[in-house]
Each structure stands twice: as C-alpha cells, then as structure tokens.
A = this chain, B = another copy of it.
Amino acid sequence: MQNPELSITRADTALVDDPTTAYIAYHDKYVIVYDFSQIDASVATKELTLLLEDLESAGLQTEVRAGYEDSLLVLVQAPRELLGNTVHHSRVKDWLYGISKKHPGGTSNTIVAGANEAEDLLSLYHLVTWTKELGGAGITPGFGKWENVTSTFPLHNPRTNQKLLVHLSKRFFLSPDDLDQIRDLWGTKVAFYFAFIQDYFLSLTFPCVAGVLAWAFLPKYSLVFAVVICVWCTVFLEYWKLREVDLSIRWGVRGVGKLKVNRPQFQFEKEVKDDVGRVHHVFPRWKRIVRQLVALPFLVLSTILLTSVIVFVFALETFIVEGYDGPYDYYLEYLPTVILALLLPFINNYLEGLAARLTEYENHRTADYYEMSLTQKIFVLQSISNYLPIFLVAFVYVPFGQIFIPLLRTYILSLAGVAVDPDFTFHVDSNKLRNEVITLTLTGQISSAIEELALPYLKNSVKDWWRTYRTSHTFATGGQTKFVKGDDPMEARFLRRVRKQASLAPYDVHEDISEMVLQFGYLALFSPVWPLIPIGFFINNWFELRADIIKITIEHQRPAPIRNDGIGPWVASLEALTWLGSLTSAAIVHLFGFSNSTIYGFNRWWTLPITIFASEHIFLGFRAGVRWALHAIGSEHIRKERSELYAERKKHLDELEASSAKRGHLDVVERERRKSVRMTAADVFWTRQVEEGASRRAGVGIIRAMKGTYMDDLVKEE
C-alpha cells in the first residue's frame, strides 16, 4: 500500500494495518473501550460526548470506531509535543521528589522522547487517567461517571513481543539486560515479578541438589534436610530484599511509592492546606485503622468457614475411602472430592469478593495501599485452602486417625442405620502425608498451567471464532455486523487486533506472584515430607516464566506500565511463611522422623512444644545473623547512589575547603592588633602568651622545674 520506508521514523508513523506490523509505533497509543449495552442511546451519546471532550481537553487526539457487540473503541493518540512534554514533566517530578538524583535539564517546555515504550506509555496512562487538576483526562474505568468505560489499555507491540519471546527461548537464565527488556515493554511492576521468579528459579538449584542428596542418603523426614531448607528460605529472602533495592535503583524507581496520586475511589473527609499551600485530601488515620481492624473478625470467620468445609469434606472422604464399605462404595469415593472441587472456588470467590469490599471500605488513599491491603487478605485465604489439607493429614489424620476414624465410622453408620461391625480396626496409611503433599503440589502445578494457559486460549479462540462466524454469516444482529464488516479495508486488520485485545482480561501481576508465593510456602512449610519437591518446582518454574510472558502477550491486555519498587507486600508473606516453616518443619520431623514413640525419653506430644520452641528461636537467631551480615555487606547500588550524590555536594565543599586552607596561623598584624586594642581585664589572660613561642616557653619552664632541671638549660639550648 504505502512504502514502509517512508514511515519508519517514530514521530510520523501511526496505527495502520501494515501487514508486517513492523512500522507501527505503539508508544503513543491507548485504547478506551466504551460499553453502551446497559444504557439507552441518549445517555450513551451524552457520555460519549463528555468522554471525547475530556480527552481532547487533555490534548489527546481521538478516533472512534465500532467495537464488538454494543461497544465503541475510542483510540487515543498523544501528539508528540504533548507526550514528550509530559514525559519531561514526569522526570522533573521524579527529581523533585528525590526518585532520581539528577535534574533532567531543560525548561518546562522541553519535549523529550521516552527512554522506552514503557516510559512513554506511563505518561500516556497518566494523561488518560489522572484528574484534570493534574493535567489528565480523568478517565477512571468502571468507576463514577465512567462506569461504562470497561477498560483502558495500551496496545500490544507484536513485533517486540515476538522478539522478546524468541530471545528468551534461546536463553536458559535471564540476565539483567533481559529483565530490562521486559521493563521497557511492560514497566517495572511486571518486570519485578519476572526478576523474582528468575531469582527464585535460580536459587531453587540449591534445594534441588540438597533434595536429591537427602533422598539418596538421608532417612525419611530428615532433620538435616529441614534445616537446610529453612536456611535456604532465610538466605534467599534476605538476598531478594537487597536485590529489590538494587533493581529499583537500576530502574530508577526507588521510593516511587510516595509519588502516587489519590485513587479515584478515595473519599476524603476534609481538605487541609499546609504551610506551603499544598492541598491535602485527608481521611483520618485512626478511622482507617479502626476500619482495617474489621478485617480481623473477617479473616477469623473465613478461616473457620474454610476449615470446617475442608474438615467436613476430608472427614467424609476418609470415612468413605477407608472406613466405609456400605452400598455404592465405589461411586461415593469420588463424591467428596467433587464436592470440594465445586465448593472451594465458589467459596473462595465469594470470600475474595468480600475482602475486596472490605478493602474498599478501608478507603485507602493510593492504589498501592489498596492493593497491599487486599493482597494480604487474599493471601491468608489462599494459604488456608492450600495448606490446611496437609496440616490436617500431618497433625490430625496420621497421629490420631487410628483413634477417631473408627469412632467416626460407628457414629455415621449408626446415623445411617447400618449395623456396626464391632471388630473393625483401622490402620492409618503411613504414606498418606507424603502422597498428599506430592498430589497437591503436582496437580497444583498442572492444573494452574491449564487454568492459566490452555483454558483462556481455548475460550478466546472459541469466542473469536463465534464472532467471526456471526459477522460473516448472520445479518440479523444488525448494526454491529454492519459496522465491523464496514471497516475501511486499510484499517480492517488493525481494528480486528484492537477489538480482540479489547475483549481480553486485564493482566493482574499479583495473581502470578501469589502462585509463586504459595509454591514457596509448600517448600518452607513441608519440605521434610518429600525432599524431591524442589525438583518439580524447578522444572515448573522454567516453563512458568516463559509461559507467563506468552500469557501476557496473548491472553491479556497489555498492562499499563505502572512503576513499583519491588513485589511489595509479598515479601512480608514470604517472611511469614518462612517463619511458620520453622515451626511446621520442626513439628513434622519431631513427629515423623523418629521410629519410637518417645523422644528425649518422654511422650513425643509432650516434647513437641519444646522442639518447636527451640526450632523457632534458632531460626530467629539465624535470621537476625543473616540480616546483620547482609546489612554490613550492604547493597552495591546504594553505595553507588551515595557516591553520585556526593559528586554534587563535592562542588560546594571544594569552594569551602579552598578557603579553609588560607586560615591557620594568626598573622603578625592580627597579633599586634590584639595586643593594642583596649583590653579589658577579661582579655588579659588570653594575651599573656600571645607572642610566638611564649606558650611553649612557659610550658617547658614548668616541665623543667618539675623535673628538677633549671631554666638555664632551656636558655642554653636555645
């Protein structure tokens, strides 16, 4: 159609249906999806008008096209001048708030090109979503007056995506440069996840080797292996904390949290003007604290609910599989698992919805705080449904099963009116714990891979096919087909891509991180049960990393390149798991690692608290030691940052030091002046020895007198 060479430079390329998609710039495009299916035409018209006005008032250019179904695609492009200036402003603001150490130079009208797509898109994201007071268009999808804006997203850059995938498929480990590429594409928030999974994956080699050795040479439920894993968890975590600092300095996002603007959902109680004329929107802190305390009963109740569901299903399963031999035995065996599989996602979903509403109620000022609070709640819920079954097997079923399962059986059978066989004895399957851990971790990995990759891909493919089919075969749906079919042929392919991306779900990096954290938890909590677990994780994570990149490129809208200086609250979750692991590992080794039923000469249940107590405090002491040592060694990047700061200061100091060199001895003139000024008696003291050498003569005189030598010697010497 056109000569591709002509449109190669960044500024004058645009979104067209270029067959190679190579020459389209994606750094200045944003898509807003407006859904008018729920409202009537006049309201929709008004809202659309307002939407376009707001976008234009922020200086953005718009093109409107039809979307799938009752939706519009508002394609937004920032003029080069506006985007370049916004990027520059953003850099100046970084400098003002101490995120970057050097002023970027230029004046308030300077136009710069972003260092990468992510930087440009972040500024564009701000132009679209920030409030008008901050210079944006104030588009807040799904909230307030923009309830019908279903999503806003930047467009995927297919060429760079593909390049990244090809590049990564050739590398076994990711270098910092590879992480930089991810950062350039999707911003630091996503890049930190990949940095984490990469570091975690690499460090897993250690437990893998240890696991193989333990499996080959150590007894089952080995204490040594448990200690090794606990040490590894601690060291890895402390190392990762330093690494977060290093990376955030490398990417220039250290302390970026304080720069974040108010969430649109944030409701303030009053406006406070501070000394420097800044207006703060204030919601009293104590109120938020009180509201956050509501989370406690919520979590307690959720825990009880989840526990009882799991315990119930578990008891039923145990009973049917191992204690029940009544009618329909064979079919009933699978019933509890089916019930749990049906119930748990439903309950979890419900609870997570409640958690989100609770967090909304807490009224956090920034999106960061909101995410942090919600993440922590969801983490607790997920932990319970993931780890509780293993806890039950380890600390209830195996040790007490022999006692309570026959009782349970008798009770249920009597309820069912079946005759009880009094001679029934029950033997606990001693491998049950190991099998449970293996099953849960293995099926967890596989099912999550299916859930994350295969299912959405199938779903999207089917949806896609259905739409295409309908568009080309049906005429009954009227307008929609008309508009989609009526695309300008030059734009058709491009619009098809935009429409497809508009129908995808946004990407939530926390879901992926939480998966890794849960995996880490299995290791930290139950490592002594089966030392080969880390190998499964190691293999899984190699694929996981690559699969997640594919997932983002194919199954999700491109994430807004939001900046973060780490994986945030997840570090606290990892620390909690490691701590808890020091308790559970010790308990597992204590209960299962010894063949006789007494330990230290006493019943093992009495000595269990002592073991746990000792293990926990050894862990805490060790952790304090690791922290202290790593703190003393420190972060390379922090030192570099400091010396850069110093360079700036040095300029000032130099001037001062040059002048201080001139000070020193009072010169003769000054000395004479001092003697000649009208002296008060107060000055007399300090002028007695003002002559050069007078102090010395006086002192030496005293020394000689005390040592019994005469003043004469002194005079002779001189």
Contacts and interface: CB of A to CB of B under 8 A. Distances in A.
Interface of A: 1-3, 6-7, 12-16, 18, 23-24, 34, 36, 40-41, 44-45, 48-49, 52, 56-59, 61-66, 70, 72, 74, 77, 79, 82, 85, 89, 92-93, 96-97, 107-109, 135, 274-278, 285-286, 288-289, 478-480, 482-483, 490-491, 494, 606, 609-610, 612-613, 629, 632-634, 643-644, 646-647, 649-650, 652-653, 655-656, 658-660, 663-666, 680-686, 688-690, 695-696, 698-700, 702-709, 714
Contact of A706 (B288, B480, B703): B480
Contacts of A652: 92, 96
14 contacts: A2-B681, A7-B682, A14-B680, A14-B684, A49-B696, A59-B664, A59-B666, A62-B695, A63-B688, A92-B656, A108-B655, A278-B646, A483-B702, A490-B681
A478 B706 contact: yes
Given A650-B277, A702-B479, A285 B632 contact: yes
Contacts of A696: 48-49, 52, 64
A45 B689 contact: no
Contacts of A74: 695, 699
9 pairs of A and B residues whose beta carbons are closest in the complex: A2-B681, A609-B609, A479-B705, A276-B647, A64-B699, A96-B649, A108-B659, A7-B682, A41-B707
B72 A643 contact: no
A358 B288 CA distance: 49
A323 to B, nearest CB: 30
A57 B660 CA distance: 12
A619 to B, nearest CB: 13
A108 B656 contact: yes
Contacts of A277: 650
Counting every copy of the chain, the complex holds 2
A66 B613 CA distance: 64
B275 A686 contact: no
Given A36-B706, A64-B689, A664-B59, A632 B289 contact: yes
A699 B49 CA distance: 9
A15 B660 contact: no
Contacts of A109: 659
Given A44-B707, A483-B706, 7 more contacts: A12-B680, A14-B685, A14-B686, A41-B703, A64-B696, A77-B686, A478-B708
Given A704-B41, A706-B480, A689 B278 contact: no
A272 to B, nearest CB: 11
A612 B612 CA distance: 11
